[in-house]
Amino acid sequence: QKEVEQDPGPLSVPEGAIVSLNCTYSNSAFQYFMWYRQYSRKGPELLMYTYSSGNKEDGRFTAQVDKSSKYISLFIRDSQPSDSATYLCAMVPGSWGKLQFGAGTQVVVTP
Amino acid sequence: DAGVTQSPTHLIKTRGQQVTLRCSPKSGHDTVSWYQQALGQGPQFIFQYYEEEERQRGNFPDRFSGHQFPNYSSELNVNALLLGDSALYLCASSLRTGGEAFFGQGTRLTVV
């Protein structure tokens, strides 16, 4: 079993819809949680960075962490075709060190 | 701020050869990590450097080695290349004291 599980998709949504992404994990030591966006053949771009449980909002993006369920989510409101990319969740036990990634979910937003 | 820069962007090598990839961290960052990302997969941690020493290592063979220079830039060396080493190699920089990790655009290595 992988430490971080993420549905690879693809997830196809119409423009303007809410995109809902999630990851589950098995290592209870994870404390810091990130979401990265990766366009084809490019490096990952950090979207959200959260510590422990709770919600964090940044513009159209909302990240949620539920440590009791070992479950994290990313919501994208008012999705745009430019949001079409692969979204990677990542987590780490301390404030730095080895990032453990999910496999990434491919999102396609259709006009 | 130039962010994390990697060179070269693309590289084609023959099986058995050796390759060196380079990374300059984001300004102010002192820690560099290297990841391998196969097609359709998430990045896999290779190792991390801080104060010119390897601090953590993932599950990669000794053919993968690295170096960090006094200016915090880093190199990844891979010896005796295998076809399976074909991947996107990513460099990430961060602060030793904590905080977000920022990635470069990656070096796409093709082994033929």
Question: Among partner residues A43, A46, A99, which is closest to B45 by beta-carbon distance?
Answer: A99
**Helix, strand, coil fractions of chain A, as percent rounded to 5:** 5, 55, 40
Contact with chain A for residue B41, Cβ under 8 A: yes
The string over B2-28, giving b where at least 16 C-beta atoms fall within 10 Å of a residue's C-beta and e elsewhere, is: eebebeeeeeebeeeeebebbbbbbee
A1-49, pLDDT tens digit by residue? Answer: 789 999 988 999 999 999 999 999 999 999 999 999 999 989 999 999 8
Indicate yes or no: CB of B108 within 8 angstroms of CB of A96.
Answer: no
pLDDT higher than threshold 80 for residue A96? no
Nearest CA in chain B to A48: B100
CB contact under 8 A, A34 and B100: yes
Query: What does the pLDDT read at residue B38?
Result: 95
Q: Residues near B62 by Cβ (< 8 Å), separated by ≥ 6? A: none
| Identity of the residue numbered A43 | G
Q: Give chain B positions within 8 Å (CB) of A88.
A: 42-43
The model's confidence at residue A94, banded by pLDDT at 50, 70 and 90, is confident
Sign of CA dihedral A43, B35, A55, A65: positive
pLDDT reported for residue A54: 87
Closest residue to B45, CB basis, from A42, A95, A98: A98
Q: How far apart (Å, rounded) are the C-alpha atoms in residues B78 and B5?
A: 19
Nearest to B98 among A4, A8, A96 (CB): A96
Residue of A2 and B106 predicted with greater confidence: B106
Binned at pLDDT 50, 70 and 90, residue A95 comes out as low
- Residues B38-59: what's their mean pLDDT? 94
Write the pLDDT tens digit of every residue in A46-81. 999 888 888 999 999 999 999 999 999 999 999 999
So what's the pLDDT on residue B1?
A: 64
Give the chain B residue whose CA is nearest to the CA of A8. Answer: B40
pLDDT of A5: 96
